[in-house]
């Protein structure tokens, strides 16, 4: 019964942790080249446990779910307990649930609900395959055991991240995942690029974490708790629910716990007691900032492509499946908070759309296969946020669905690129190899399946999930159009219908229903454009790698061949799943119904929106056509001659401009017969100086015009895309460089002024000491005299003071 569930909940994160400890302890000496065994076994065990957990949760949620959703919380031990740490504003206390006096108490809790168990099975499955793949890929590397320790630690952190039932612990593991990713990206730390990339990923994430931390503080001061769940419903490990004791009286801690609602617990969702207005918006935007950091959303997307420096399987693990999805998971978990604040929801959608477009544009021109995939990941994550940003059940479930299917085909693509990279001797520049389809047949076929899935071609996985997002955008636009037509002018009114209890005095009026309708309509078209680009760049990379004349770089040496079974096996498994899992889940409606039983999605305003699982034929047809169009264009450009590509890229690069910038060309005009004729004629009538002056003026004008044209050269569409819209340079100029300068300045001040003052203080006591040492002369009469004098001085002071 419960004990079985509890055991599974503990096993899923416990096994990777045990493996991490084991490899860390025995890796360097005993295990050495066998270091992957404990990790692979533990991850496989963890995967089986999470599958069992999934089954258990599915059965229980079907039995008890219904209204309010299903969740089961297991409290392991109390981590922090500061009684009476906060007194809530009495006005807020009612909305917060429970008494106004709050204990700052954090229990280490694990939770099982549809959302968590889905994430768990996905994470552990991909991790297991990546670990198997890495066993082949990393063979013979220095620090083999270290790599597997990091992997196990990473999986532990990630499983805990999705398992914990408390914002503070979520933050802890959020950071732990960041640390692991830092270690993994910088795994080849002697390589300066790798070390710098690890640092960059870590620092950019700090910006997001700063927002997340602020959001936590705000949640604590407004909601008075950081738990997701109601504390009264948490079960201890032995199985019984920790109900508050009946005999408790007065203001005891257990008394204060009664009626205390978790932040996203079913009870609170049922009561719909969420902050709207300014505070609610602030919380949501700060949470979104945190999600932007971890999920590489604009404007914090810059770290992810650099993270390609890590060993390939790591890239796959981090980017495709796990770490970047943490942000999506967190926003999904906080859906009720976002529902209370429509502007925040629109922000999520806009950020997602902007990221999807920007990253898609950048991916069009990259030469590095892994970078194409990295930007594609950023773009697809933007897609997920687009889905979440609709705020409808349809969209959120679609976002989670895309997360789920994307994990499979993106892991497939990353592992495939790893296989290519392995064969090419760590060369990943697509200009240096081509036509590999005969050399690497398995990789070729599996990579193609991944590409088709990513491009969204039916009936592969990517099609279903992407289509669901596009459809949800379409529906949302439609919904707001209807709302504005009905005369409901503001979404605030819309929200207040369902939740009369919330103080919506400062309810949002920034966005009218009509504006929202226009926004979602625009995002719908944007999504289609991005879908087109996705299909194009995916197949561009595919054709460049596997078609054309067979070329192999010199670094590949003699091992330009298909990869070993430990690498091909995971590819094959992933290919099958990438092809089939989306369609299977879509047609059985399994995913949508299951995930929507998670407490965050099973109640509140979200429920009032569209039901998930409906299939929109027109939208599906449109997106299919768009995807096929992208593939066809790529095929036309990259399968045939290269002339069209050259022409297109030169057009996009504004190459004509450079001819205009040529001063020589202006100067050559002088030699044109008709100009020379005019000049000669003018000379004869004595106006030679005039034509000369005109000519010089023209030359001067040409020079003046050159500068803006040169700028135009740098911001040509091709260059913008190729140089990633100069985001790195912009950050360098606006953030990194000023801070470095400031740092140098402060270091100087610290060294010469602060340290100087401190050293002065440090020298003072010793100087004083040497002064006093002279009193210690070793003469008994002097000592006796000092004692007597001391006494007399005390008495004299007393008499002089003449006090009491």
Partner 1 sequence: MLPDLTTLTLLLPEIVLILSATALFVGGAFRPRAAALAILGHGAYLAGLLLLLGVEWGRWESLVEQGATVSGPLSLDYLGQLLRSLTLVIGLLLSLVMSRTSPDELKTEHAGTLMLTIAGLMFVARANELVLMFVGLELISIPTYALLFMGRRDRSTGEATAKYFFLSLLSSGLLLYGLSFLYGMAGTTTLIGSGSELGIREVVASLRAAATTAAAEASVPSTPNLWMLAPLAVILVSAGLCFKLAAVPFHFYAPDVYQGATAGNAALLAVLPKAAGVLAFTRLIVAIFPAYATAWQMAVIVSILTMTLGNICALWQKHVRRLLGYSSIAHSGYLLIGLSVALVADNDALRAEGLAATLFYLAAYAFASIGGFAALTYLAESGKPVDHVEQLAGCGRSHPLAAGVLAVSMFSFAGIPVFAGFWGKFALFASTLEMATGATYGPLSGWFATLAIVGALNAAIGAAYYLRVVGAMFFQSAPVVSGSPASDGSAATATGSTSTLSAMVACGVLVVGMGVVPVIGFRGAGFAGKSVAATAAVPAVTPAVTPAVTPAVSSAATSLGSSP
Instruction: Quote the CA–CA distance of 605 and 269 in Å, as a whole number.
Output: 9
DSSP codes of every residue in 651-678: HHTTHHHHHHT-HHHHHHGGGSHHHHHH
Nearer to partner 1, 739 or 789 (CB): 789
> CA torsion angle for 576, 586, 386, 382 (degrees, to 10)?
0
Nearer to partner 1, 250 or 778 (CB): 778
What is the binding site for partner 1 (CB under 8 A)?
765-766, 768-770, 772-773, 775-776, 778, 780, 782-784, 786-791, 794-795, 798-799, 803-804
Q: Least distance in Å: CB of 245 to partner 1?
A: 23
Residues pairing with 551 in the sheet: 434
Nearer to partner 1, 693 or 789 (CB): 789
For residue 459, whether the previous peptide bond is cis, meaning omega lies within 30 degrees of 0, is yes
Nearer to partner 1, 734 or 791 (CB): 791
Which of 305, 324, 582 lies closest to 454, judged by CA? Answer: 582
Nearer to partner 1, 91 or 772 (CB): 772
Nearer to partner 1, 500 or 777 (CB): 777
Which of 125, 622, 764, 663 lies closest to 405, judged by CA? Answer: 125
> CA torsion angle for 627, 630, 632, 638 (degrees, to 10)?
-140
Alpha helices in 65-143 (DSSP H): 90-96, 114-137
Distant-in-sequence, close-in-space partners of 454: CB < 8 Å, separation ≥ 6: 376, 380, 409, 410, 413, 462, 534, 538
How many C-alpha atoms does 450 have within 13 Å on its Cβ side? 31
Nearer to partner 1, 667 or 789 (CB): 789
Instruction: Quote the CA–CA distance of 622 and 568 in Å, as a whole number.
Output: 35
Nearer to partner 1, 732 or 786 (CB): 786
Q: Least distance in Å: CB of 781 to partner 1?
A: 9
Q: Least distance in Å: CB of 795 to partner 1?
A: 5
Nearer to partner 1, 704 or 772 (CB): 772
Q: Least distance in Å: CB of 776 to partner 1?
A: 6
The 3-state DSSP class for residue 641 equals coil
The 3-state DSSP class for residue 77 equals strand
H or E element: which one contains 586?
helix 565-588
Q: Least distance in Å: CB of 797 to partner 1?
A: 8
Q: Least distance in Å: CB of 249 to partner 1?
A: 22
Q: Least distance in Å: CB of 790 to partner 1?
A: 4
Q: β-pairing, 72-87 with 101-112?
A: antiparallel
Q: Least distance in Å: CB of 81 to partner 1?
A: 18
Nearer to partner 1, 551 or 798 (CB): 798
Q: Least distance in Å: CB of 799 to partner 1?
A: 8
Q: Least distance in Å: CB of 353 to partner 1?
A: 53
Nearer to partner 1, 704 or 779 (CB): 779
DSSP codes of every residue in 399-443: HHHHHHHHHHHHHHHHHHHHHHHHHTTS--BTTS-B-TTTT-HHH
Asked if 391 contacts 520 with a C-beta cutoff of 8 angstroms, the reply is: no
Instruction: Quote the CA–CA distance of 621 and 476 in Å, as a whole number.
Output: 18
Nearer to partner 1, 1 or 779 (CB): 779
Instruction: Quote the CA–CA distance of 769 and 572 in Å, as a whole number.
Output: 78
Instruction: Quote the CA–CA distance of 462 and 222 in Å, as a whole number.
Output: 40
Q: Least distance in Å: CB of 784 to partner 1?
A: 5
């Amino acid at each position: 019964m419960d004990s079985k569930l509890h055991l599974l909940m503990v096993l899923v994160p416990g096994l990777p942790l045990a493996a991490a400890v084991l490899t860390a302890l025995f890796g360097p000496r005993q295990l050495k080249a066998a270091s992957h065994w404990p990790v692979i076994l533990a991850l496989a065990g963890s995967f089986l446990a999470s599958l069992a957990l999934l089954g258990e949760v599915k059965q229980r949620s079907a039995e008890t779910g219904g209204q309010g959703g299903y969740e089961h919380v297991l409290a392991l031990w109390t981590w922090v307990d500061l009684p009476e740490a906060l007194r809530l504003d009495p006005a807020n206390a009612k909305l917060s649930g429970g008494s106004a006096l709050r204990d700052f108490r954090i229990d280490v809790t694990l939770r099982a609900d549809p959302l968590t168990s889905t994430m768990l099975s996905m994470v552990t499955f991909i991790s297991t395959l990546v670990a198997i793949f890495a066993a082949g890929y990393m063979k013979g590397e220095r620090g083999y055991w270290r790599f597997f320790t990091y992997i196990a630690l990473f999986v532990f952190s990630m499983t805990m991240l999705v398992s914990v039932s408390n914002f503070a612990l979520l933050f802890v593991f959020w950071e732990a995942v960041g640390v692991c990713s830092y270690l993994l990206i910088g795994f080849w730390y002697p390589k300066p690029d790798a070390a710098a990339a690890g640092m960059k990923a870590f620092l950019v994430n700090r910006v997001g974490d700063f927002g997340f931390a602020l959001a936590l503080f705000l949640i604590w001061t407004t909601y008075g708790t950081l738990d997701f769940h109601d504390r009264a419903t948490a079960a201890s490990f032995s199985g019984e629910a920790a109900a508050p004791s009946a005999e408790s009286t007065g203001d005891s801690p257990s008394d204060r716990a009664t009626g205390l609602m978790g932040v996203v617990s079913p009870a609170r969702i049922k009561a719909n007691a969420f902050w709207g207005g300014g505070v609610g918006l602030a919380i949501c935007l700060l949470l979104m900032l945190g999600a932007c950091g971890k999920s590489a959303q604009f404007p914090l997307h810059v770290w992810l492509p650099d993270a390609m420096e890590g060993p390939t399987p790591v890239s796959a693990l981090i980017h495709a499946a796990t770490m970047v999805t943490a942000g999506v998971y967190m926003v999904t978990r906080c859906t009720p908070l976002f529902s209370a604040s429509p502007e925040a929801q629109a922000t999520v959608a806009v950020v997602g759309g902007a990221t999807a477009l920007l990253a898609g544009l950048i991916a069009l021109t990259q030469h590095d296969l892994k970078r194409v995939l990295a930007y594609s990941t950023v773009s697809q994550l933007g897609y997920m946020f687009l889905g979440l940003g609709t705020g409808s059940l349809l969209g959120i479930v679609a976002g989670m669905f895309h997360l789920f299917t994307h994990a499979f085909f993106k892991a497939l693509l990353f592992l495939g690129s790893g296989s290519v990279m392995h064969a090419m001797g760590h060369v990943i520049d697509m200009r240096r190899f081509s036509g590999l389809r005969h050399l690497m047949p398995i990789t070729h076929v599996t990579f193609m399946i991944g590409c088709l899935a990513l491009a969204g071609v039916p009936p592969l996985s990517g099609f279903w999930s992407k289509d669901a997002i596009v459809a949800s955008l379409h529906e949302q636009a439609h919904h707001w159009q209807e709302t504005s037509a009905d005369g409901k002018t503001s979404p605030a009114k819309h929200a207040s219908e369902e939740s009369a209890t919330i103080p919506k005095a400062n309810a949002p009026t920034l966005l009218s229903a009509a504006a929202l309708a226009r926004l979602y309509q625009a995002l719908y078209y944007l999504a289609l454009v991005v879908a087109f680009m996705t299909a194009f760049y995916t197949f561009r990379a595919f054709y460049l790698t596997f078609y054309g004349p067979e070329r192999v770089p010199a670094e590949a040496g003699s091992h330009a061949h298909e990869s070993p079974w430990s690498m091909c096996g995971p590819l094959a498994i992933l290919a099958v799943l990438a092809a089939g899992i989306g369609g299977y889940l879509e047609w059985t409606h399994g995913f949508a119904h299951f995930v929507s039983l998670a407490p965050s999605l099973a109640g509140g305003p979200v429920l009032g929106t569209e039901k998930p699982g409906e299939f929109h034929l027109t939208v599906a047809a449109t997106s299919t056509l768009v995807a096929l169009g992208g593939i066809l264009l790529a095929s036309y450009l990259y399968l045939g001659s290269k002339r069209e590509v050259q022409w297109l890229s030169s057009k996009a690069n504004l190459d004509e401009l450079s001819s205009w910038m040529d001063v020589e060309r202006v100067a050559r005009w002088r030699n044109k017969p008709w100009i020379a004729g005019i000049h000669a004629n003018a000379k004869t009538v004595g106006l030679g100086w005039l034509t000369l002056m005109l000519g010089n003026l023209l030359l001067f004008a040409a020079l003046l015009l050159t500068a803006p044209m040169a700028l135009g050269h740098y911001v040509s569409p091709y260059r913008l895309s190729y140089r990633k819209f100069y985001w790195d340079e912009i950050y360098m100029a606006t953030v990194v460089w000023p801070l470095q300068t400031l740092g140098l300045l402060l270091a100087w001040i610290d060294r010469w002024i602060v340290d100087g003052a401190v050293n002065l203080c440090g020298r003072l006591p010793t100087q004083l000491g040497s002064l006093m040492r002279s009193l210690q002369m070793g003469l008994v009469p002097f000592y006796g005299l000092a004692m007597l004098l001391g006494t007399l001085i005390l008495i004299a002071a007393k008499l002089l003071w003449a006090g009491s």
